[in-house]
Amino acid sequence: MALFLLAFPDSVHIASLGVFHQIFSRPFFGAFLMLLGVASAIVGLSIHHLGRLRMIFFLLQYFFLLTMAASSLSQDLQGRYADGVVRPWQFILLDQLSVLLIPILYTAVIIDWRKQNDT
């Protein structure tokens, strides 16, 4: 998504980036932080000697997942997308359900990954 955001800065008006756009008014800064989150997670996967401290490397990526989920939920509660298109809340909820589920699934995967690597 970060590369798409760099190529098409107006894409911040999609539902899952609405709150993201409010936090980072300049798409390039937000896209850079997204790429930094990806790079940080890759480093966290490759460093084994830090033990549980490796989880720190996943926090930035997790922050973006939560921000996007909060944005989707906000659009749902308002009954309109970030670009102003009005739709019934049920429509937006079903449309954005995957964005809302990603942080939950990400958390489950990280917990499982941590359990496997703690032994």
Domain ranges in the chain are 2-118
pLDDT at 104: 94
Q: How confident is the model at residue 103 (pLDDT cuts 50, 70, 90)?
A: very high
Kindly tell me if the per-residue pLDDT of 117 is higher than 80: no
pLDDT at 25: 72
Burial class, 9, CB count within 10 angstroms (exposed 0-12 / middle 13-18 / buried 19+)? middle
* 38-55 per-position pLDDT tens digit: 999 899 888 878 877 888
Residues 39/93, Cβ–Cβ less than 8 Å: no
3-state secondary structure of 117: helix
pLDDT at 48: 78
Look up the pTM and report it. Answer: 0.76
Q: How confident is the model at residue 102 (pLDDT cuts 50, 70, 90)?
A: very high
3-state secondary structure of 105: helix
